Amino acid sequence: MNPYRPGAGDVPPVVAGRELELIELHGRLGTAASYGHFPGPPLLFAAPRGLGKTTLLQLARRDAEQGGFVTAFAAADPDTSLLIVLAQSIAEAAATAGLARGDRWSRWRERLAALSVEVSLTGGVKLAAAMNQPAPEQPPDRVAFTRLLGETATLARQEDRPGLAILVDELQEAREQDLRAFAYAAQELAGSPDRPPVVIVGAGLPSLPDRLIAAASFAERFTYAELRILSPAAAAEALIRPAEALRVTWTREAADAVLDAARGYPYLLQLFGSTSWSAANPAGPGATIALAHAQQGLDIGRQDLGRGMFRGRWAKATPAERQFLIALATLGEGPARIADVARHLDRQVKDLSMVRAGLIDKGVIQAPGRGQIEFTIAGFGDFVQAQALADDSD
């Protein structure tokens, strides 16, 4: 079986280079489990796509479920209330955990009803029809949502479970009023007298901290873990160890070719590892992935990127953004000065601020240092230049 998992939503067999983030995550879960109280502000992973945010969130989900937490998982959507989606997930998780008992149960159901979620004593969960309609102007009752979190965690403790774990992906996609309600819930749980054991973990693009702080200024005190590309040692571990576990060997030349192409991006390591494995088609233990296999795998992987991720990013770019991307691509893959991009376009730096901000919000470029910008994933600059030539020929 191919051990690599590019974008499959599964946790790769080896998660390398994220030890500090996992220590922080396990510390939150451990504090809630051991002491039965709120373990601290939300832990939020912020990074461009392809750096492993969702993998960390899936690890959090797996570890919380294995630890006995009532675990609710949701992906934010600008067209749907985040509070309602989370309430539904909480209801399903609580029903599965068998929390439908005790005096608190009726009050807990009232909190759900205030959020357009119904749950029966047999554990069935029903979402109001309004769920699939356009988002309302006003969010569901924020107080009811906060109390739902606290009372679910309390019910969980009464059933000898550690507490409630809330996991949210694509958090930057939530509407501002939902982000505000999300932030206020965390703030109020931290300040409540009983501080119920609710662990909150989220993930989003680099724009997430700015969006949350704009929605609620105190969100600046949340914990933001900014993910970077992997170190050479961690990248090599992520590529080589999954094959070694199946007693398949990468030659040094083959591994170096893939590591050079991936440039420390976890998604590219998984993608190029997968396509190289398929090209080698190892028959069993003792097989080898050679340079020819890696080169074929890289060709296939780049074609996949061109048909999918890269083409999607190009399609979503406005004409002004495309001109910006072309200018940046001509300066190479590494970080470039925004002043050089402006000079290439015969513009002033201040004239490009909106275009630059839009591309950062879309996760296409990032600012690694003051006055600098770069693409968020290796290889996109080459695609941009090829696409620009193709568009000119048309």
pLDDT tens-place string over residues 136-160: 444 557 888 888 899 899 889 988 9
- 148-162, 293-307, 329-343 — which one is most confidently predicted on average? 293-307
pLDDT on residue 277: 97
Confidence bin at 116 (pLDDT 50/70/90): low
How far apart CA 388 and CA 326 sit, in angstroms, is 7
pLDDT on residue 131: 39
Q: Which CATH number do you get for residue 384?
A: 1.10.10.10
Nearest to 240, CA basis, from 256, 228, 261, 224:
256
One domain, residues 69 and 206: yes
Lowest mean pLDDT among 93-97, 138-142, 313-317: 138-142
One domain, residues 315 and 303: no
Tell whether 366 is covered by a domain.
yes
The total domain count for the chain is 3
Q: Which CATH number do you get for residue 267?
A: 1.10.8
Tell whether 296 is covered by a domain.
yes
Hey, what amino acid is at 217?
Answer: S
The number of residues in the chain equals 394
Tell whether 6 is covered by a domain.
no
Tell whether 3 is covered by a domain.
no
Structural domain that includes position 159: 19-226
Residue labelled with tokens 């190029």: 272
Overall average pLDDT of the 66-89 stretch: 91
Nearest to 379, CA basis, from 263, 245, 232, 215:
263
Residue labelled with tokens 């774990």: 165
One domain, residues 131 and 246: no
Neighbours of 168 (CB within 10 A): 25
Tell whether 8 is covered by a domain.
no
Confidence bin at 135 (pLDDT 50/70/90): very low
Q: What is the pTM of this model?
A: 0.86
Lowest mean pLDDT among 124-138, 143-157, 162-176, 366-380: 124-138
One domain, residues 199 and 261: no
Neighbours of 16 (CB within 10 A): 20
One domain, residues 299 and 336: no
The answer to whether residue 52 scores a pLDDT higher than 50 is yes
One domain, residues 290 and 201: no
Give 394 or 39, the one with higher predicted confidence: 39
Domain finish residue from 226, 254, 284: 226
Overall average pLDDT of the 351-363 stretch: 90
How far apart CA 153 and CA 360 sit, in angstroms, is 37
pLDDT on residue 132: 39
One domain, residues 58 and 190: yes
64 half-sphere exposure, CB direction, 13 A CA radius: 27
One domain, residues 295 and 325: no
Tell whether 71 is covered by a domain.
yes
One domain, residues 238 and 137: no
Could you tell me which residues come within 8 angstroms of residue 70 by beta carbon, excluding any fewer than 6 positions away? 90, 93, 94, 97, 99, 152, 153, 155, 156, 161, 163, 164, 165
| Contact in structure between 38 and 196 (CB atoms under 8 Å) | yes
Distances (CA, A) of 113 to 51, 117, 119, 237: 38, 5, 8, 49
One domain, residues 316 and 303: no
Overall average pLDDT of the 371-380 stretch: 90
One domain, residues 285 and 385: no
| Contact in structure between 363 and 48 (CB atoms under 8 Å) | yes
Domain finish residue from 201, 226, 251: 226
Tell whether 47 is covered by a domain.
yes
Tell whether 269 is covered by a domain.
yes
The answer to whether residue 205 scores a pLDDT higher than 80 is yes
Q: Which CATH number do you get for residue 210?
A: 3.40.50.300
Domain finish residue from 262, 282, 307: 307
| Contact in structure between 42 and 202 (CB atoms under 8 Å) | yes
One domain, residues 332 and 289: no
Q: What percent of the chain has pLDDT over 70?
A: 89
